[in-house]
Structure 1
Amino acid sequence: MNIGFLGLGKLGLPVSLAVESKGHKVFGYDISKQTIDDIRNRKIRYREEWVDKYLPKTKLEINNINELVKNSEIIFVPIQTPHEPQYEGVTRIPDKRIDFDYSYLIDGIKDLSAAIEKNGEDKVVIIISTVLPGTIRSNIKPLLGNHTKLCYNPFFIAMGSTIRDFLYPEFILFGVDDEAAADTAQKFYKTICDSPFYKTTIENAELIKVSYNTMISTKISFVNTIMEACHHLPNTNIDEVTNGLKLATRRLISSAYMTGGMGDGGGCHPRDNIALSHLSQKLKLSYDWFDSIMMQREKQSEWLANLIIENSKNRQINILGKTFKPETNLILGSPSLLLKNILLEKQKKVFSWDPYIDEKYEAVCEKYNWTNNKISHVFFIGTKHPDFIKFKYPKNSIIIDPFRYIYSVKDSKIIRIGDNTTS
């Protein structure tokens, strides 16, 4: 089939490459000249599994929007619906709760619908963007012409593993507005994978998408609370506790996201909790569960900041890692950055470094005083990069490890958060 993508960013491009790998002809359009130039030069500015395999040999055809419409049978719309920067999870959350910003999606749909009407043929349009329940019907459908056959198909992918997650999904969530369009899409997906194809109303699909993301946040906030308890309770170890809980697959679902560490991060989960908190208040629900999830995340980060301060007397504070996910350069919603900002709020000077973002170790070593034997250090592991296992920690350092994956560093003390059996 001929498949189009209105948007070739961090979601659109990897998915287009995945679709192309299954033998489909792929067309794309993006308003960003930088994005188009990067694709034509066969490079991207973010880390994504499997892109190196597919991007160099792609035959993705870059079109203008009119050509995209003319060439495509199905058009995916992976346009961003961001939050305001203060709601992205790297700073304290303001008291006011707000919805996502739908302006980019609305502008893109307006342009796409106009191009489809100009072309004069029916086209299947599949919106991927994350939205709150009711948004598609109230904000998007009124913009559509008669030839736009709408579907809502949000993906359950993680940035950094988009191609793999698209090709091997748990299930395909599909909000139906036009049955014929849904049938066309289902035939397409049979060429991609054999995962269950779950058809429901658009409103149900909108709610399932954000509920899925916030369920992950719920598990993370719960297990990190248990980790904090283990840090105080004698003879307890968070990993032994969670390994026991992971065996309860009949009642506690799966073992995923059941390991203590840093708070939830990324471009979806923190902001989805904030948006659902906004919806909770709008609907006057009896209890704003989603606000509690985000407050746990923020309070845990403050507890970690205080733990660093307690161990930093006459020591320089260093945070190793800025990304929300190991071995990527993705920082959106990073709990490590939230931690740094809380420390700065407390008037502490903080040095932070990430090998996947910043200058190489040799370039910053002297600048960050890591070779100065007269300065003592405390290091906090903000991202579980494997690089920090073999990091050259200065002598007599204190290393605070919320992931408990660093076991021995010569002439240094390791504080393994949530492990009270070895301290």
Structure 2
Amino acid sequence: MKITVIGTGYLGATHAAAMAELGFEVLGLDVVPEKIEMLGRGRVPMFEPGLEDLLRKHVAGIEGSTGRLRFTMDWAEVAEFGDVHFLCVNTPQKHGEYACDMSYVDAAVESLAKHLDRPCLVVGKSTVPVGSADRLAARILELAPGGGEVELAWNPEFLREGLAVRDTLHPDRIVVGVRSERAERLLREVYAAPIAAGSPFVVTDFPTAELVKTSANSFLATKISFINAMAEVCEAAGGDVAKLAEAIGHDDRIGRKFLRAGIGFGGGCLPKDIRAFMARAGELGADQALTFLREIDSINMRQRGQMVELAREALGGGSFLGRRVAVLGATFKPDSDDVRDSPALNVAGQIHLQGGQVTVYDPKGMDNARRLFPTLGYADSAIDAVRGADVVLHLTEWREFRELDPAALGEVAAARLVLDGRNALDPELWRRAGWTYRAMGRPTA
């Protein structure tokens, strides 16, 4: 069995490399020549731990590689090559709307289907509005010369940035929406290795498979926003949200994960997925079922403004004008270079617009941050960012920041004042070095 991967962005590049690692011959397709050229050299256009090494292990033409992975821009070559075709193209939020932009998925199906003249399986992995698979299956049947021998299945992705390689090779679950035993059999063959290693294999219909990803992200967003809402209450009541989270986390019905209050979530998935979910529910006449997600979104976005106000308060409550602010972190999460909808950059940008002299440092996200916010200041290291700062904001929980020497930073800062926007630093360590430590939801900690 041979596999193709349509779309070689974050999801597609990872999936293609992982399929080669599982022993399959893989052909990846993209419509961007620069991306194909880069991948063909074993390079990836984003930072993801372990991905480039895995890619170089398998890309044809690289010395010592297995040669199991190639890339092309030719749709006919892909159709002729593959028995299973994975759709891994982007589904961004529409401009000015909550709804999902399906134009890339639709274009991929249109381009591929007309070349499919023999039995094969097209497998959607992109996050799409529920109902999309039914529509795309009908379109494939209409366009494909192979007719009913060309089937569609839906197999949502659950990758976490920073852990994408692990999540593909050792998934915590594999969900497949299928309409035939043949489709199920082919996908069991594709995922034979992780299934044998214990990954649960959940077989369902199209709508349920499409709903799994958005439901999971909505639940996760709800949990994060809940503890952030509790941080607001703790600020008002004089409580400690970190201790609150620890206490309720001992309840195994709730659990400890994702109960760390902070400046909220961002990135290319959670925000746009919950908004698209709300939009689709409205189209289906079930909008009342998801009205709570509007408040989840609101709580999340409100955290950014509250961090700005916390910084203003720490500096005496006046204007940011002329004050030097060091921002540690630019990416929306650690172990990634992704700055899409980054809370850290949003906070930095707001302070800058209000007159603050902001200097940002991030271990991996500097180039992307500069492209998005070119007017901010940038430093080559944490100590350079902190030099002369009146306040230090810790906004992305990189390990490098947790391991900083507060005493050394204190020697170069104008004032030893640190605001922990992720509740991830050790307060006692910083206080022993003479710093005033403040974190969201912990006014008396």
Aligned to 1:72: 82
Does residue 138 in structure 1 map to residue 135 in structure 2? Answer: yes
Find the aligned partners of 2:359 and 2:137 in 1 and give their Cα distance: 45
C-alpha distance 16-66 of structure 1, shift in aligned 2 (>3 A)? same
C-alpha displacement at 1:15, in angstroms? 1.4
| Aligned-partner SS, 1:11 | helix
C-alpha distance 200-157 of structure 1, shift in aligned 2 (>3 A)? same
Find the aligned partners of 1:345 and 1:284 in 2 and give their Cα distance: 40
Does residue 398 in structure 1 map to residue 417 in structure 2? Answer: yes
Deviations 1:55-89 (A, max 9, x none): 22212122322222212111111011111466xxx
Does residue 172 in structure 1 map to residue 179 in structure 2? Answer: no
C-alpha distance 143-348 of structure 1, shift in aligned 2 (>3 A)? farther
Find the aligned partners of 1:202 and 1:347 in 2 and give their Cα distance: 51
Aligned to 2:105: 105
Q: Report the aligned-residue RMSD.
A: 2.5
Is the contact made by 2:174 and 2:200 (CA closer than 8 Å) also made in structure 1?
Answer: yes
Is the contact made by 2:44 and 2:52 (CA closer than 8 Å) also made in structure 1?
Answer: no
Find the aligned partners of 1:386 and 1:187 in 2 and give their Cα distance: 38
Does residue 275 in structure 1 map to residue 273 in structure 2? Answer: no
| Alignment of structure 1 residues 374-413 onto 2, 5 Å | 376-389=389-402, 390=404, 392-393=409-410, 394-404=413-423, 405-407=425-427, 408-409=429-430, 410-413=433-436
Aligned to 1:247: 250
Aligned to 2:121: 124
Match among 154, 166, 171 for residue 156 of structure 2: 154
Match among 342, 345, 366 for residue 337 of structure 1: 345
TM-score by length of 1: 0.87
Find the aligned partners of 1:190 and 1:139 in 2 and give their Cα distance: 27
| Aligned-partner SS, 2:390 | strand
Is the contact made by 2:48 and 2:335 (CA closer than 8 Å) also made in structure 1?
Answer: no
Letter of the structure 1 residue corresponding to residue 166 of structure 2: R
C-alpha displacement at 1:315, in angstroms? 2.9
C-alpha displacement at 1:351, in angstroms? 3.3
Find the aligned partners of 1:57 and 1:168 in 2 and give their Cα distance: 18
Find the aligned partners of 1:327 and 1:186 in 2 and give their Cα distance: 31
Find the aligned partners of 1:363 and 1:219 in 2 and give their Cα distance: 33
Match among 303, 307, 318 for residue 326 of structure 2: 318
Letter of the structure 2 residue corresponding to residue 226 of structure 1: M
Find the aligned partners of 1:268 and 1:106 in 2 and give their Cα distance: 19
Letter of the structure 2 residue corresponding to residue 177 of structure 1: R
Higher helix content, 1 or 2? 2
Find the aligned partners of 2:132 and 2:162 in 1 and give their Cα distance: 27
Match among 265, 290, 295 for residue 292 of structure 1: 295
| Aligned-partner SS, 1:203 | helix
Aligned to 1:89: none
| Aligned-partner SS, 2:327 | strand
Is the contact made by 1:324 and 1:333 (CA closer than 8 Å) also made in structure 2?
Answer: yes
Q: Which has the higher contact order (CA 8 A, sep 6+)?
A: 1
Deviations 1:155-201 (A, max 9, x none): 11112221101122221111113432222112221233332221111
Find the aligned partners of 1:8 and 1:281 in 2 and give their Cα distance: 32
Q: What residue ranges of structure 2 are gaps of 5+ in the alignment?
A: 59-66, 317-321, 368-377
C-alpha displacement at 1:42, in angstroms? 1.7
C-alpha distance 385-131 of structure 1, shift in aligned 2 (>3 A)? same
C-alpha distance 351-140 of structure 1, shift in aligned 2 (>3 A)? farther
Letter of the structure 2 residue corresponding to residue 265 of structure 1: G
Of 337-346 and 325-334, the range deviating more from structure 2: 337-346
Find the aligned partners of 2:379 and 2:353 in 1 and give their Cα distance: 27
The number of residues matched between the two structures is: 401
Letter of the structure 1 residue corresponding to residue 92 of structure 2: P
Is the contact made by 2:330 and 2:360 (CA closer than 8 Å) also made in structure 1?
Answer: yes
Is the contact made by 2:361 and 2:381 (CA closer than 8 Å) also made in structure 1?
Answer: no
C-alpha displacement at 1:212, in angstroms? 0.7
Is the contact made by 2:330 and 2:366 (CA closer than 8 Å) also made in structure 1?
Answer: no
Is the contact made by 1:395 and 1:412 (CA closer than 8 Å) also made in structure 2?
Answer: no
Find the aligned partners of 1:363 and 1:387 in 2 and give their Cα distance: 10
Find the aligned partners of 1:298 and 1:84 in 2 and give their Cα distance: 19
C-alpha displacement at 1:417, in angstroms? 2.6
C-alpha distance 140-271 of structure 1, shift in aligned 2 (>3 A)? farther
Deviations 1:84-121 (A, max 9, x none): 466xxxxxxxxxx43111111111111110121xxx20
Percentage of pairs with the same residue:
24
Match among 215, 234, 238 for residue 211 of structure 1: 215
TM-score by length of 2: 0.83
Is the contact made by 1:7 and 1:79 (CA closer than 8 Å) also made in structure 2?
Answer: yes
C-alpha displacement at 1:348, in angstroms? 4.8
Aligned to 1:414: 437
Q: What residue ranges of structure 1 are gaps of 5+ in the alignment?
A: 87-96
| Aligned-partner SS, 2:305 | helix
Letter of the structure 1 residue corresponding to residue 261 of structure 2: G
Find the aligned partners of 1:362 and 1:13 in 2 and give their Cα distance: 29
Letter of the structure 1 residue corresponding to residue 298 of structure 2: M
Find the aligned partners of 1:402 and 1:76 in 2 and give their Cα distance: 39
Match among 185, 188, 200 for residue 186 of structure 1: 188
